[in-house]
């Protein structure tokens, strides 16, 4: 570390890492909060992040009250970002981050160390791959994550295959099943390990049912065949209640392409490097209601914090993180007088933030463990029920509940459960 | 004999389940005020109208990408600016797939007017500048 001190260090009030929807909204909010010295670092050559390849519509219904495509949604934020003259480094990758908020940035021919008063982590997430779910078999070409195929088709004009199976019913997999069908491929089927779909109901309808693409639940890929170099087909089998394949149900499905839509992983290498405490369920940092991690001055928002299903909520959350990061840069660390832990109870997989001060209203984000109808989400502060909301429960859909400071203050533990 | 049918509304990510009742001719049953006879689970006002449309002639939006010559990106993303009949999607895609464009292209440019005779335009959803 000592050699790093010899390299000139640039001072910045706020550095935002990542120029996707989270980073854009956060940087704009920092500027709007009156903090002018903000720099956004983006590794791609353009801003917008993954939205650029999400050409389907349905983005922005909450924020803009219209159904925009991903690139249009990004363009609205990029326009605001440019109008505010916010500094940006494109084609720049952050190599390291210390707990003292020194950001090591590599650009073509140049390595820079930036000392930030506050850092906003907005690196997004990446896809789980074949390796992450350990599918045995040959290693032919033709096995793609759904997002990689989406990038190749929508941005690079490369058609990835003609006869397609999809493993995993996450939204990207469903969207890609439709996209490949529209481009003339035959999508044989979507296979989902779980007994329910992990994608939004509207995508089951408009991406699968509309095109007669079958969805097989409680089914997984057990083998990949393609000794010749290209995928020749996959073996699939139903699984039992312990998700173990049932050998007698195994069958071979010929195909030249397998798309994997088997989950997203928040991209938190820098977060860990800085020493932030992590939540093993979300895969992101543990934050309070200002979106600050356990490392003072380091904030986290968007898909790097927890994977969202709607970009609108990424933007809303990131605006909050930006606002609080700007205040931190200006005023420094102010410990909250009280710290109320928020814990997931029965039927709740996780809640976020993991702790609150009780001094402000806040939005509680959560996901449930299993689908259900006519159930309620209940928030308790100590033994007292402070919030009850009737919602349709689906693990694919993030639930957001506003909790007022009038009921949040006092107590030292909150629990959220399904009843 | 009427039959019940469950629809998944695709207008927004809520994806409401709308239950409708159809008569023996497949026509949707409505009450005296023109509201769906059943189907009270809908989160918004558009559900009734959407369900009627879905039974009579389902409408969808689609998106695609078109190659661009001499642009700072290889492709431009496009979409329908109004829903088109589900039955027309492949006819519209055929027209989109024949296209190649030249930069510059500006967001909201009409790329194809009324494809396959549909009351919609295919519009650009991003800017593509000339390669420079």
Confidence check: pLDDT of B1 > 80: no
B7 pairs with which residues across the strands? B18
Question: DSSP alpha helices (H): ranges in B7-76?
Answer: 46-56
Domain span at B51: 3-56
Last residue of some domain: A229, A262, A295? A262
Which of B56, B72, B97 corresponds to the end of one domain? Answer: B56
Share of chain A above pLDDT 70, in %: 98
Q: Cβ A201–B60 below 8 Å, yes or no? A: no
Instruction: List alpha helices for B1-132, DSSP H.
Output: 46-56, 89-98
B95 shares a domain with B50: no
Q: Write out pLDDT tens, residues A22-70.
A: 999 999 999 999 999 999 999 999 999 999 999 999 999 999 999 999 9
**Res A317: pLDDT:** 98
**Residue A2: band (very low, low, confident or very high) from pLDDT cuts 50, 70, 90:** very low
- A147 sits in which H/E element: helix A146-155
> For chain B, how long is the longest CA-to-CA vector?
67
Q: Is B64 exposed, middle or buried (0-12, 13-18, 19+ CB in 10 A)?
A: buried
Do B68 and B119 reside in the same domain of the chain?
yes
Give the pLDDT band of residue B43 (cuts 50, 70, 90): low
Question: Is residue A282 within 8 Å of residue A306, measured between CB atoms?
Answer: yes
Q: What are the φ/ψ torsions at residue A68 (nearest 5 degrees)?
A: -95, 160
CB contact under 8 A, A155 and B74: yes
Helix (H, G, I), strand (E, B) or coil at A30: helix
**Bridge pairing between strands A87-89 and A38-41:** parallel
Q: Which tokens go with A175?
A: 């969207």
Regarding whether A42 and A12 lie in a shared domain, the answer is yes
Q: In terms of domains, do A179 and A247 share one?
A: yes
- Within a domain: residue B129? no
Residues A157 and A179 in one domain: yes
Mutate to test the interface with A, among B46, B53, B65 (most CBs of A within 10 A): B65
Which of A45, A58, A59, A69 to mutate to test binding with chain B, by most B CBs within 10 Å of its CB?
A: A69
pLDDT of residue B13: 77
Which DSSP letter does residue A129 get? Answer: -
Number of structural domains, chain A? 3
Which tokens go with A130? Answer: 């074949």
What tokens were used for A88? 């940006």
Measure A309 CA to nearest chain B CA, in Å: 9
Stated pTM of the model: 0.93
The string of pLDDT tens digits covering residues A325-379 is 999 999 988 877 788 999 999 999 999 999 998 888 999 999 999 888 778 999 9
**Which of A262, A277, A303 is the last residue in one of the domains?**
A262
CATH number at residue A396: 2.60.40
Per-residue pLDDT tens digits for B73-96:
999 999 999 999 999 999 999 999
Residue A32, SS3?
helix
**Rounded Cα gap, residues A381 and A158, in angstroms:** 53
Could you say which DSSP state residue A411 is in? -
- pLDDT tens for A109-136 read 889 999 999 999 999 999 999 988 889 9
User: For residue A378, what is the enclosing H or E element?
Assistant: strand A372-381
Q: Is residue B36 part of a domain?
A: yes
Whether residues A89 and A151 fall in one domain:
no
Q: What is the DSSP string of B100-125?
A: -EES-B-TT-EEEESGGG-S-EEEE-
A70-83 vs A21-32: helix crossing angle, rounded to 10: 30
Does the N-terminal peptide bond of residue B104 adopt cis geometry, omega within 30 degrees of 0? yes
Query: Do A154 and A225 lie in a common domain?
Result: yes
Average pLDDT over residues A91-105: 96
Regarding whether A122 and A138 lie in a shared domain, the answer is no
Residue A400, both tokens: 């957001």
Is B46 a domain residue? yes
pLDDT, tens digit, 9 for 90 and up, residues A167-187? 999 999 999 999 999 999 999
Residue B128 sits at φ, ψ, to 5 deg, of -130, 115
Mutate to test the interface with A, among B7, B8, B13 (most CBs of A within 10 A): B13
Q: CATH no. for residue B100?
A: 3.10.530.10
pLDDT at B74: 96
- CB contact, 8 Å: B9 with chain A? yes
Q: Which phi and psi angles does A359 have, rounded to 5°?
A: -90, -15
Report the b/e string of A191-212 with b at 16+ CB within 10 A.
bbbbeebbbbbbbbbbbbebbe
Same domain, yes or no, for A324 and A341? no
Write down which residue in A302, A334, A366 finishes a domain.
A334
What share of chain B has pLDDT > 70, as a percent?
92
CB contact under 8 A, A157 and B15: no
Count how many domains chain B has.
2
> Which residue in chain B is spatially nearest to A310 when comparing CA positions?
B13
Which residues 51-70 in chain A show a CB within 8 A of chain B?
52, 55-58, 61, 67-70
* CB proximity A309 to B under 8 Å: yes
Residue B70 in domain: yes
Q: B residues 42-101 near A, CB within 8 Å?
A: 58, 60-65, 67, 73-75, 77-79, 86, 89-90, 93, 97
Same domain, A231 and A107: no
Angstrom distance (rounded) from CA A42 to CA A93: 7
* CA-CA-CA-CA dihedral for B33, B16, A190, A208, to nearest 10: 30
Shared domain for B37 and B80, answered yes or no, is: no
Measured between CA atoms, the residue of chain A closest to residue B98 is A183
For residue A183, the Cα-to-chain-centroid distance in whole angstroms is 27
C-alpha distance from B13 to closest chain A C-alpha (Å):
7
Residue B84 lies in a domain: yes
Same domain, A223 and A191: yes
Q: Which residues of chain A lie closer than 8 angstroms to B93, CB-CB? A: 182-183
CA distance A160 to chain B (A): 14
| Distance between CA atoms of residues A56 and A156, nearest Å | 16
Residue B130 included in any domain: no
User: What average pLDDT does chain A have?
Assistant: 94
Q: Are residues A31 and A137 in the same domain?
A: no
DSSP code per residue over A59-80: ESTTTTSS-EEHHHHHHHHHHH
Same domain? A147 vs A237: yes
Core vs surface per residue A101-132: b (16+ CB within 10 A) or e: bbbbbeeeeeebbbebbbbbbbbbbebbebee
φ, ψ (nearest 5 deg) of residue A373: -120, 155
A198 has a chain B CB within 8 A of its CB: no
- Pairwise CA distance, residues A384 & A332, whole Å: 34
Q: How far apart are CA A6 and CA A3, in angstroms?
A: 6
Question: Are A205 and B10 within 8 A, CB to CB?
Answer: yes
Q: Examine the domain organization and report whether A144 and A188 are in the same domain.
A: yes
Identify whether residues B51 and B78 lie together within a single domain: no
What is the model's pLDDT at position A393? Answer: 87
Question: What is the phi/psi pair of residue A59, to 5°?
Answer: -90, 145
CA separation for the pair B18, B6 (Å, rounded): 6
What domain range includes position A208?
A: 129-262
Contact (CB<8Å) B60/A156: no
User: Which among B8, B63, B126 has CB closest to A204?
Assistant: B8
Compute the count of residue pairs across chains A and B with CB atoms less than 8 Å apart.
Answer: 85
User: Which residues are CB-neighbours of A133 under 8 A, at least 6 positions away?
Assistant: A260, A262
Question: pLDDT, tens digit, for every residue of A214-249?
Answer: 999 999 999 999 998 999 999 999 999 999 999 999
Residues of A in contact with B17 (CB under 8 A): 201
Q: What is the CATH number of the domain that holds A115?
A: 3.50.50.60
For residue A1, what pLDDT is reported? 47
Q: What is the mean pLDDT of residues A260-268?
A: 96
Average pLDDT over residues A403-415: 84
């Amino acid at each position: 570390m000592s050699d790093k001190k010899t390299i000139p260090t640039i001072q910045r009030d706020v550095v935002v890492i990542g120029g996707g929807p989270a980073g854009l909204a956060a940087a704009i909010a920092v500027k709007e909060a009156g903090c002018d010295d903000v720099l956004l670092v983006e590794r791609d050559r353009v801003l917008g992040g993954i939205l650029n390849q999400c050409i389907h519509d349905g983005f922005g219904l909450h924020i803009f009250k219209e159904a925009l495509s991903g690139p249009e949604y990004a363009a609205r934020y990029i326009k605001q970002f440019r109008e505010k003259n916010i500094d940006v480094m494109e084609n720049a990758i952050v190599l390291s981050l210390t707990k003292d908020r020194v950001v090591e940035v590599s650009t073509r021919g140049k390595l820079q160390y930036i000392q930030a008063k506050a850092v906003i982590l907005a690196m997004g997430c990446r896809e789980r791959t074949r390796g992450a779910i350990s599918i045995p078999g040959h290693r032919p070409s033709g096995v793609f994550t759904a997002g990689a195929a989406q990038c190749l088709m929508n941005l690079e004009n490369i058609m990835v295959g003609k006869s397609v199976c999809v493993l995993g019913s996450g939204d990207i997999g469903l969207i890609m099943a439709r996209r490949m069908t529209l481009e003339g491929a035959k999508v044989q089927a979507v296979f989902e390990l779980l007994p329910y779909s992990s994608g939004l109901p509207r995508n089951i309808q408009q991406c699968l049912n509309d095109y007669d693409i079958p969805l097989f639940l409680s089914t997984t890929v057990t083998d990949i065949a393609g000794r010749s170099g290209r995928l020749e087909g996959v073996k699939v089998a139903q699984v039992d209640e312990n998700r173990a394949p049932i050998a007698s149900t195994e069958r071979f499905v010929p195909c030249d392409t397998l798309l994997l839509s088997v989950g997203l992983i928040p991209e938190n290498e820098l977060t860990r490097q800085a020493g932030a405490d992590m939540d093993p369920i979300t895969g992101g940092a543990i934050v309070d209601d200002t979106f600050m991690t356990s490392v003072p001055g380091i904030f986290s928002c968007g898909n790097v914090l927890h994977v969202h299903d709607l970009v609108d909520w990424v933007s809303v959350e990131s605006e909050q993180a930006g606002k609080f990061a700007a205040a931190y840069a200006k005023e420094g660390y102010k410990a909250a007088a009280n710290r109320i832990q928020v814990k997931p109870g029965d039927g709740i997989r996780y809640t976020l933030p993991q702790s609150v001060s009780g001094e402000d209203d806040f939005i509680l984000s959560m996901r449930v463990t299993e689908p259900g109808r006519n159930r309620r989400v209940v928030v308790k502060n100590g033994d007292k029920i402070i919030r009850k909301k009737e919602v349709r429960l689906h693990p694919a859909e993030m639930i957001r509940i506003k909790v007022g400071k009038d009921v949040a203050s006092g107590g030292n533990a909150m629990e959220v459960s399904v009843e | 004999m009427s039959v019940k049918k469950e629809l998944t509304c695709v207008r927004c990510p809520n994806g409401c389940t709308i239950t409708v009742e159809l008569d023996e001719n497949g026509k949707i049953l409505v009450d005296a005020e023109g509201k769906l006879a059943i189907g009270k689970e809908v989160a918004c006002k558009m559900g009734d109208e959407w369900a009627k449309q879905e039974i009579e002639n389902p409408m969808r939006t689609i998106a695609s990408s078109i190659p661009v010559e001499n642009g700072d990106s290889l492709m431009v993303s496009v979409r329908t600016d109004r829903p088109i009949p589900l039955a027309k999607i492949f006819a519209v895609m055929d027209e989109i797939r024949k296209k190649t464009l030249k930069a510059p292209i500006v967001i909201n440019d009409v790329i194809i007017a009324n494809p396959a005779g549909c009351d919609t335009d295919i519009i650009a959803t991003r800017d593509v500048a000339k390669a420079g």
